[in-house]
Amino acid sequence: MRSTYPGPRAYISRDTNLPWWKRILPIIASHRLSFIASIVLSFTSLIFQTLVPNLLNSAITNSLEKHAAALHHAVIEILIFAVLAGVSGILSRQYLFRTAYEVEADLRSLIYEHLTWLSFSFYDRVQSGQLISRANSDIRSVQMYSTFAPLILVQTSIGVLAFGFMLTIDPLLACIAMVVMPILYVVGIKMRRVLFPISWITQARLADVATIVDENVNGVRVVKSFAQEEAEINRLADAAERVSWAYVKDAQIRGQWSPWVQNLPQLGLALVLAFGGVMVINGHLSIGAILAFNAYLLMLQAPFMMLGQLVMMGQRAKASAERIFEILDENPDVVERPGAYDLTNVKGALDFDHVSFRYGPDVEILKDFDLHVAAGEIVALVGRTGSGKSTVARLATRFYDASEGRVRVDGHNVRDVSLASLRTNVGVVLDEPFLFSVSVRENIAYGVPTASFEEVEAAARAAAAHDFISDLPQGYDTVIGERGYTLSGGQRQRIAIARTLLVNPPILILDDATSAIDVHVESTIYQSLATLMTSRTTVVIAHRISTIALAQRVIVLENGRVVADGTHDQLLATSALYAEILAQTMDEEV
């Protein structure tokens, strides 16, 4: 039983004119309760922390110098405030981490949801490794900054509180202690400017490494077949060296600027000791006061260090956010029109009315393609490589939209119907079937998760897959390897056919889907299809004569156009191109 995904609580703003952090803000706001709780508790902890030095000053002055109050009362007060600060700090971190991981989960779900929404044209030009990197390391960078930056800013507010207490002790000494602040501001601005470019480069090069790893894992059989292991190792090493250079450059920049941010407060401490010491010697300041001053200055060091970290995190998060927005700002080419309706009671008529199609502005595949397939008819599409056969299947399911002309199912323009109903009624089995790393039964039932075992078995029998599935170690419960590579090519194709048959589409398109299947098994599959549903419309994109002969009608394509139409025997007698294609296919099979 599959769970129903409720969707993220909020969505990233689509306004590209907003700063990147404002676009992320709706996601943070959707977790406002736990986030606000963490901020309030953190601020509470800081208040208790800043009260401790003031209590220390009072205890030393009143108990040790003037003997006006009992020392143990001051000790108890300090312990109580310390415990309250610790407890509120622990609770603050618990709420913060809860918010952080929930925000990360929402961002990851959001980007995956958007990826499923995008059209095939997007995946034609984007590397999978780039997507994996942006859905992992980039999201982590944005999540860390989005949730921890406000907390760091709250932590730095301890400086404001500490400065307030310092003013109550001695205004002049407080101003001397804060004289380094303008220098820190200038250093922070400069640091932010130089860190952003290298942060972008680092994330981009990490994505390049992810792409190479993804290609090598998925294409390991190709790599080993051509004995290119060493070449691929060198390619990955080159990419890793480019990442290393970016990290080293990042470290150099941090090493150049971070000491300024971290050590300038020490200058303030030295100034306080110099001027404050003179004031103590001259009797203008108590020992307890200068100890409290030193405690407040030590409190200021952590916020200064956090500010430096905040700048570095911010630049990396900004670079990562912009890389994520490159995906989220993409819009699909194929979308449902307002008012799109569901296809119902489909008979199976399929029409291409003077269709033209281009992959990009320059690559024209179909040119005035005109084809009419009657309901229940079995038609074979034949043509040389690149003639547009597979494009026909992709247009019928609206994987792509025709550049010109119309594609119709039972007279309905596919642009006017809902995508889900169209793809339920037009089933496609591709020449390279993709199987998931789950059981055989789950792979077959992928399109109908609620299907009974009897229905799954019936689909497998119709695809001539039941016998070899029964011979597997756990039968239908056998978990197959990634992409189904533990099975033969023909076995994978038969499971893919069974998966489509279980959906029971009125229109079935087999895009060279039986190329790896034995001729006798192929004949059994088509015989099963014929008895399974006599009214099923079947479009076979094929090269084998045995497959083509099963069709009632054969369509010959050349340069994206229909150049011949008839039965197998008719075309053998009348079409030289058809005879040439068949002869070439027979030579390749031999």
In this predicted structure, the answer to whether residue 7 has a pLDDT above a threshold of 80 is no
527 pLDDT band (50/70/90 cuts)?
Answer: low
* pLDDT digits 0-9 by tens, 239-295: 888 888 888 888 887 777 777 766 676 777 777 777 777 777 777 777 777 777 777
Cα separation, 145 vs 154, in Å, equals 14
Query: What is the biggest distance separating any 2 CA atoms in the chain, rounded to whole angstroms?
Result: 121
Are the C-beta atoms of 211 and 127 separated by less than 8 Å? yes
CA-CA distances (angstroms) from residue 421 to 148, 377, 449?
44, 21, 17
477 pLDDT band (50/70/90 cuts)?
Answer: very high
* pLDDT digits 0-9 by tens, 167-200: 877 788 777 777 777 777 677 667 767 777 787 7
> Measured on CA atoms in the order 74, 80, 81, 86, is the torsion positive or negative?
positive
User: What is the CA angle 245-246-252, rounded to 5?
Assistant: 90
Average pLDDT over residues 528-533: 58
In this predicted structure, the answer to whether residue 370 has a pLDDT above a threshold of 80 is yes
Percentage of the chain surpassing pLDDT 70? 83
Calculate the average pLDDT of the chain: 80
Cα separation, 297 vs 276, in Å, equals 13
Cα separation, 457 vs 464, in Å, equals 10
Helices and strands (H and E) in the chain: how many: 21, 10
Could you write out the three-class secondary structure of 511-555? ECCCCCCCHHHHHHHHHHHHHHCCCCEEEEECCCHHHHCCCCEEE
* pLDDT digits 0-9 by tens, 309-333: 677 777 778 888 888 888 888 888 8
Task: Name the one residue in this structure whose structure tokens are 């941090």.
Answer: 254
Are the C-beta atoms of 356 and 404 separated by less than 8 Å? yes
| Residue 61 CB neighbours (<10 A) | 18
What does the pLDDT read at residue 4?
Answer: 59
Q: 350 - beta bridge partners?
A: 373, 409
| Residue 338 CB neighbours (<10 A) | 5
Cα separation, 325 vs 17, in Å, equals 12
What does the pLDDT read at residue 1?
Answer: 43
In the chain, the amino acid numbered 502 is L
In this predicted structure, the answer to whether residue 406 has a pLDDT above a threshold of 90 is yes
Question: For 219-286, where are the alpha helices, taking DSSP H only?
Answer: 220-225, 229-281
Report which secondary-structure segment, H or E, holds 417: none
Cα separation, 404 vs 588, in Å, equals 35
What does the pLDDT read at residue 183?
Answer: 74
Q: Quick one: how far is CA 397 from the chain centroid? A: 25
**Residue 540 neighbours by CB under 8 Å, 6+ apart:** 378, 379, 380, 381, 510, 547, 548, 550, 551
Cα separation, 540 vs 512, in Å, equals 7
Q: Quick one: how far is CA 244 from the chain centroid? A: 24
Does the pTM of the predicted model rise above 0.85? no
In this predicted structure, the answer to whether residue 221 has a pLDDT above a threshold of 60 is no
Are the C-beta atoms of 541 and 392 separated by less than 8 Å? yes
User: What is the CA angle 224-226-228, rounded to 5?
Assistant: 70
Are the C-beta atoms of 536 and 526 separated by less than 8 Å? no
Are the C-beta atoms of 339 and 418 separated by less than 8 Å? no
Domains along the sequence of the chain with CATH: 20-328 (1.20.1560.10), 350-589 (3.40.50.300)
* pLDDT digits 0-9 by tens, 439-473: 899 989 988 888 999 999 999 988 888 989 999 88
Long-range pairs, 65-70, Cβ under 8 A, ≥24: 65/286, 65/287, 65/288
Cα separation, 302 vs 289, in Å, equals 21
Average pLDDT over residues 470-491: 82
Cα separation, 249 vs 244, in Å, equals 8
Average pLDDT over residues 491-520: 80
* pLDDT digits 0-9 by tens, 289-309: 777 777 777 676 666 666 666
In the chain, the amino acid numbered 275 is F
Cα separation, 586 vs 590, in Å, equals 6
In this predicted structure, the answer to whether residue 230 has a pLDDT above a threshold of 70 is yes
**Greater pLDDT, 237 or 514:** 237
With 0-12 / 13-18 / 19 or more C-beta atoms within 10 angstroms meaning exposed / middle / buried, residue 306 is buried
Task: Name the one residue in this structure whose structure tokens are 């500490």.
Answer: 162
What does the pLDDT read at residue 407?
Answer: 94
In this predicted structure, the answer to whether residue 133 has a pLDDT above a threshold of 80 is no
- Ramachandran region, residue 16 (left: φ > 0; alpha: ψ -120 to 50; beta: rest): alpha
What does the pLDDT read at residue 409?
Answer: 94
Q: 352 - beta bridge partners?
A: 371, 407
